[in-house]
Amino acid sequence: MPIFSYRARDRKGALVLGELEVADKSALEKSLDKTGLIPIAISPVSKIRFDFSKIKGIFERITAEELILFTRQISTLFGAGLPLTKALSTLEGQIKNKAFAGIIKKIREDIEAGSTFANALSKHPKIFNELYSSMAEAGEAGGILDKVLDRLASMLEKENENRAKIKSATLYPKIVLGAIVAAIFIMMTFVVPKFVQLYKMFNVALPLPTRMLIAISNFSTSYWHILLLIIVSGIIFVNLYFKTKSGRYNWDFLQLKIPIFGNMFLKSILSRFARTLGSLYASGLPILQALDIASRTAGNIVIAESVKTIEEDVRAGKGIAEPMARIKYFPPMVVQMAAVGEQTGAIDNMMEKVAEYYDQEVDHTIRNMSTILEPILLLFIFGIVLFLALAIFLPMWDMVRLIRR
């Protein structure tokens, strides 16, 4: 659709400037009339124009913290009695991230043009996912948008905390493994070749660890370009494979089976699922729609397909607990809480308790993570150091014995 720029006056006579994407000029006049604006001048905007703000916006990433703050602020302003468009206009001028401010401006203009808040949000799925727009839709339909947004902000905060904790738990092994790889690279590139030249001066039989180390060093120094090509090709292939449906499923399945980390990932996913389902149901969405959205926002295809089977059974007239009990990824505690929620009509409260329980479980697992990983990493480092030491020093002992003779 074409874009029109307009100059208009509001009821108080203040000048209002803006742009809107509509079918034609008359549609824009009707849209302005609905919002109480009197058009002064309307002109089409050329689609061929170079907007430096869009180029800049590519590099301005909208963080989870900014989204949480926006949700909390819009909830507060709307709850205080401000019209939604006025609240959005206020936040639009406060947000420092120009890309995010531009998105909020588009949302406000869509609402002024007659769109609902949820539909305006759904036009920006990279920022406002399906869960966000669905909860907004439920809040608008029930007349409790401020409460729903406040609940959504709390939910986003908790999810952000869980992601930060998991990143923190995996940071230590990443640093250790990265340091080991860097040390091995330096050894192979600078240290081992020097020892190889030394060994060539003495006609002694080299032990197996030394021959292995020399072979690895020769390959990495002589065929580094092939090695680099293999690594880059492997990374590209893996990324392309994981973008396919089967690849994503296998990766998500593997994540749940990784020793130590798999159990933590599962607990985090169950916490997200329970909190999403409880929040959606508490916002007024039917249980089938809540399950559908919870499955698509689970963050793991394996769990998402499991939730889909629950949704199909519920659609057939069964409860949640019965099909959930047949799925191995849902522990008995979750099943029992779901059953109690069905019996008492408080599924939202029970799911919130499940989410809180697994949040505590994730916290406990992360606190014990270093205690579990340290012996494993130390054993791994010891094995590498032992191999390097034997490969380098065994020939030197043979050379010392040869010199003494």
176 found inside a domain: yes
pLDDT tens digits, one per residue of 135-151: 888 888 778 888 888 88
Predicted confidence (pLDDT) at residue 2 exceeds the cutoff of 80: no
Tell me: do 362 and 399 sit in the same domain.
yes
**Best CA proximity match to 366, nearest among 154, 161, 177:** 161
In terms of domains, do 205 and 345 share one?
yes
Query: What is the number of structural domains in the chain?
Result: 3
Is the same domain home to 104 and 166? no
What pLDDT sits at residue 403? 62
How many CB atoms sit inside 10 A of residue 129's CB?
Answer: 16
Query: Quick one: 310 and 166 in the same domain?
Result: yes
SS3 316: coil
In one letter, which amino acid is 228? L
Residue with the larger pLDDT of the pair 347 and 369:
347
**Secondary structure of 87-145 in HEC code, one letter for each residue:** HHHHHHHHCCCHHHHHHHHHHHHHHHCCCCHHHHHHCCCCCCCHHHHHHHHHHHHHCCH
pLDDT over threshold 70, residue 338: yes
| Mean pLDDT score, 90-104 | 87
Same domain, 297 and 373: yes
User: What pLDDT score was predicted for residue 3?
Assistant: 80
Tokens of 194: 């020097």
Higher pLDDT residue, 11 or 386?
386
- Give the structural domain span for 85: 55-128
Structural domain includes residue 329: yes
- The pLDDT of residue 42 is above 50: yes
55 pLDDT band, cuts 50/70/90, is very low
Q: Under a CB-based contact definition with an 8 Å cutoff, are residues 269 and 299 in contact?
A: yes
> Are 265 and 168 within one domain?
yes
**Same-domain check for residues 40 and 62:** no
| 197-240 residue pLDDT tens | 777 776 667 788 888 888 888 887 778 788 889 989 999 999 89
As a whole number of angstroms, the distance between CA 405 and CA 394 comes to 17
If asked whether residues 173 and 311 sit together in one domain, one would say yes
Q: How many Å is the Cα radius of gyration of the chain? A: 30
What whole-number percentage of the chain has pLDDT above 70? Answer: 93
CB 272 within 8 A of CB 332: no
Tell me, yes or no, whether 9 and 105 share the same domain.
no
Q: Stretch 249-255: mean pLDDT, rounded?
A: 91
Question: Is residue 154 predicted with pLDDT exceeding 80?
Answer: yes
User: Is the predicted pLDDT of residue 356 greater than 80, yes or no?
Assistant: yes
Q: Please check the confidence at residue 52 and state whether its pLDDT lies above 70.
A: no
Report the alpha-carbon distance of residue 80 to residue 64 in Å, rounded. Answer: 24
CATH number, domain with residue 201:
1.20.81.30
Q: What is the pLDDT of residue 60?
A: 57
**What is the predicted pLDDT for the residue at 203?**
67
Q: How far is CA 348 from CA 165, 277, 284, 323, in A?
A: 25, 7, 10, 18
To the nearest whole number, what is the mean pLDDT of the chain?
83
Model pLDDT, residue 191 = 78
pTM over 0.75: no
Q: Can you tell me the mean pLDDT for 69-88?
A: 89
Question: In which band, very low, low, confident or very high, does the pLDDT at 350 lie, cut at 50, 70 and 90?
Answer: very high
DSSP classification of residue 205: P
Please report which confidence band the pLDDT of residue 340 belongs to, taking 50, 70 and 90 as the band edges: very high
Residues 33 and 63 in one domain: no
Tell me whether residue 266 is in a domain. yes
